[in-house]
Structure 1
Amino acid sequence: MDINKINNYNSLISKMDNQIVNNKTENSFGDLLSNALDKVNEMQLESQEYKKMLAIGEVDNLHDVTIAADKADTALQVVMAIRGKVVEAYKEIMRIQI
């Protein structure tokens, strides 16, 4: 498990928090969302790589494999929850009568 990847993820989250708190518009919401999705994709790929390495016997520490898989699963669940809320909000907006 590479601690730098966790630090990069944490710095992305704190950057998003700072932009929200400071009301800065340096990056658009789309850019932030795209970056977050890229990070989730990287976590999924890392988890798959760990699983492949485990299958061929290259991983000595099973904890790293489990942590990578759980981290990727949790990130995907968060993305799916956000997606559900966005779709729900869109449907609500479409129901508004003008």
Structure 2
Amino acid sequence: MEINNMQSSFVLKTNDLHSQKVLKTPAQAEASFKAAFKDALNNVNQLQQESGQKTQQLVTGQIDDLHEVMIAGQKASVTLQATVEVRNKVIEAYQEIMRMQV
């Protein structure tokens, strides 16, 4: 049985940390964040669709391996929960910034 490494789309790799020491303009930072967030959402969507397809294949009898279907479902669930938590933190940070007095 092969165990695949599951990585979150929101985790920065060490190479990314070293390359981001260069100061960016707000527009560049916005574009970078937007691209990272879009990639993460696409990854979540892909895992959700894959889980749905494997479930459908199990129901129709095309797949006999229940473990594969359950693992795909759990991957999709964990990435969706992580995405929701990141969204909650972003909203919380935005609300905190809006409460600041200038």
Could you list the per-position Cα deviations for residues 61-92 of structure 1 after superposition, in whole angstroms to 9, with x for gaps in the alignment? 11100000000000000000000000000000
Q: Partner residue of 1:74?
A: 78
| Shift of residue 96, structure 1, vs aligned partner | 0.2
Tell me the distance in 1 between the aligned counterparts of 2:43 and 2:53.
15
Aligned residues: 91
Contact 2:10 2:36 in 1 (8 A): no
Q: Percent identity over the alignment?
A: 38
Q: Partner residue of 1:57?
A: 61
1:40 to 41, 44, 54: 44
Q: Please, what is the CA RMSD of the aligned residues?
A: 2.5
Tell me the distance in 1 between the aligned counterparts of 2:71 and 2:87.
24
Q: Partner residue of 1:19?
A: 16
**Structure 1, unpaired ranges of 5+:** none
| Shift of residue 39, structure 1, vs aligned partner | 0.7
Could you list the per-position Cα deviations for residues 16-38 of structure 1 after superposition, in whole angstroms to 9, with x for gaps in the alignment? 42223321678711101101110
1:90 to 85, 94, 102: 94
Contact 2:54 2:63 in 1 (8 A): yes
| Shift of residue 13, structure 1, vs aligned partner | 6.6
- After TM superposition, the score normalised by the length of structure 1 is 0.80
**Aligned structure 1 segments of 4 or more residues deviating by more than 3 angstroms:** 24-27
